[in-house]
Structure 1
Amino acid sequence: MNSHILLGIAIVLLLMFGVAVYSYMKSKDLLSFYIAERGGKWYLILGSLFASGISGASFLGMMSYYYNLGAGTLWINIGIAWSYFVLCFFIGPKLRRFGQLTIPDYLASRFDSPLLGPIFSIIASVWMVVLLGSLYVQGGLLFSELFGMSYSSSTIIVCAMVIIFTILGGMVVVLNTDFIAMIILTAALVITVPFLVKATEGWGPVTEAVRAAQPDYFTNAGELTPFMAFSWLFIWLFGYLGNPGYLTRFYAASSVRDIVKAGMAIALIYLPVSFIFFGSSFFAKTIYPNIQDPETIWLTYTFDLAPPFIVGIAMAGLFVAILSSANTWLLAGATSLGRDIYQKLLNKDVSERNLLVVTKLLVLFLGALSVPIGIWRPAYIMEMMNLAYLIAGSTGGLIIIMSMYYRSMTKEAAWGGIISGSIIAISWKLTQRVGVISAGIDPMIPTLIVTCIVIIIISRLTKPSKKMIAVFEKMVS
Structure 2
Amino acid sequence: MITAVVIVYTFFGGQKAVLYTDFTQAVAFLLAVVVVVPLSISAAGGWSEITATVDTDQPGFFGATGGVMGLLNATALFFVWFLGYLGHPGFLTRFYAARSERDAIKTGIAVSAVYLPFWALIGFAGAAMRSMYPGADVDTETVLVQFVLDHTPAIIAGVLFAAILGAILSSADTWLLTAASSGSHDLLRQVSRRQWTDSQLLRRTKCLVVLLGLAALPFGLWRPTYITDMMTIAYTVAGASGGVLILFSLYWRRTTRQAAWSGLTFGVVAAVGGRIAQLTGATPEWFDPILPTLVGTTLIVVVVSLMTPVDAAATSVFDRIRRPDPDYDPSASSTKETV
Do these two structures clear the TM 0.5 threshold for a shared fold by scoring above it? yes
Corresponding residue for residue 164 of structure 2: 318
Amino acid corresponding to residue 183 of structure 1 in structure 2: V
Q: What letter corresponds to residue 77 of structure 2 in structure 1?
A: W
Confirm or deny: 8 A CA contact 1:241 1:393 kept in the other structure.
yes
Q: Give the corresponding residue for 2:287.
A: 441
Deviation of 1:181 (Å): 1.1
1:263 Cα shift? 6.8
Question: Any residues of structure 2 matched to 1:119-158 within 5 Å, and which?
Answer: 157-158=1-2
Q: Aligned pair in 2 of structure 1 residues 211, 461: CA closer, same or farther (>3 Å)?
A: closer
Alignment of 1:249 onto 2:69: no
Does the residue aligned with 1:388 lie in a helix, a strand or coil? helix
Structure whose residues are more often helix by fraction: 1
Q: Aligned-pair distance for 1:411? A: 2.2
Match of 1:382 among 219, 225, 228: 228
Deviations 1:96-155 (A, max 9, x none): xxxxxxxxxxxxxxxxxxxxxxxxxxxxxxxxxxxxxxxxxxxxxxxxxxxxxxxxxxxx
Structure 1 376/228 Cα, relative in aligned 2: closer, same or farther at 3 Å?
A: farther
Instruction: Kindly indicate whether the alpha-carbon contact (under 8 Å) linking 1:235 and 1:393 is maintained by their aligned counterparts in 2.
Output: yes
Q: Which structure 2 residues correspond to residues 37-436 of structure 1 after superposition, within 5 A?
A: 157-190=1-34, 201=45, 209=53, 216-219=60-63, 221-224=65-68, 226-254=71-99, 260=106, 270=115, 273-274=118-119, 276-290=121-135, 291-343=137-189, 346=192, 348-375=194-221, 377-431=223-277
Q: For residues 261 and 416 of structure 1, what CA distance do their matches in structure 2 show?
A: 27
- The runs of 5 or more residues in structure 2 that have no matched partner are 324-339
Give the whole-Å Cα distance in 2 for the aligned partners of 1:363 and 1:407. 38
Unmatched 5+ stretches in structure 1:
1-156
Q: CA deviation at 1:318?
A: 0.9
Percent of aligned positions that are identical: 36
1:447-458 to structure 2, matched below 5 A, reads: 447-458=293-304
Return the letter of the residue paired with 1:234: F
Query: TM-score, normalized by length of structure 1?
Result: 0.57
Distance 2:246 2:148 in 1: 41
Q: Which residue of 2 aligns with 1:67?
A: none
State the secondary structure of the residue aligned to 1:315.
helix
Match in the other structure for 2:334: none
CA offsets per residue over residues 448-471 of structure 1, 9 Å max, x none?
233333323332332134323222
Deviation per CA, 1:282-340, whole angstroms, max 9, x where unpaired? 44455434523232222112112333343233222211111012111222222233333
Do 1:253 and 1:259's aligned partners in 2 also have CA atoms closer than 8 Å?
no
Distance of aligned partners of 1:198 and 1:231 in 2 relative to their CA distance in 1, 3 Å threshold: closer
Greater Cα shift, 393-402 or 362-371: 362-371
SS in 2 for 1:460: helix
Alpha-carbon distance between aligned partners in 1 of 2:294 and 2:37, rounded to the nearest angstrom: 39
Q: Matched residues in 1 for 2:163 and 2:84: separation?
A: 25
Larger RCO (alpha carbons 8 Å, 6+ apart): 1
Shift of 1:342: 3.7
What is the CA–CA distance in structure 1 between the aligned matches of 2:199 and 2:138, rounded to whole Å? 51
CA distance in 2, matches of 1:400, 1:292: 39
Q: 1:348 to 1:405 in 2, by over 3 A?
A: farther
Over aligned residues, Cα RMSD in angstroms? Answer: 3.5
The 1:354–1:191 alpha-carbon spacing in structure 2 relative to 1, beyond 3 Å, is: same
Residue identity in the other structure for 1:476: R
> How far apart in 2 are the matches of 1:350 and 1:195?
54
TM-score by length of 2: 0.77
Q: Is the 8 A contact 2:86 2:108 kept in 1?
A: no
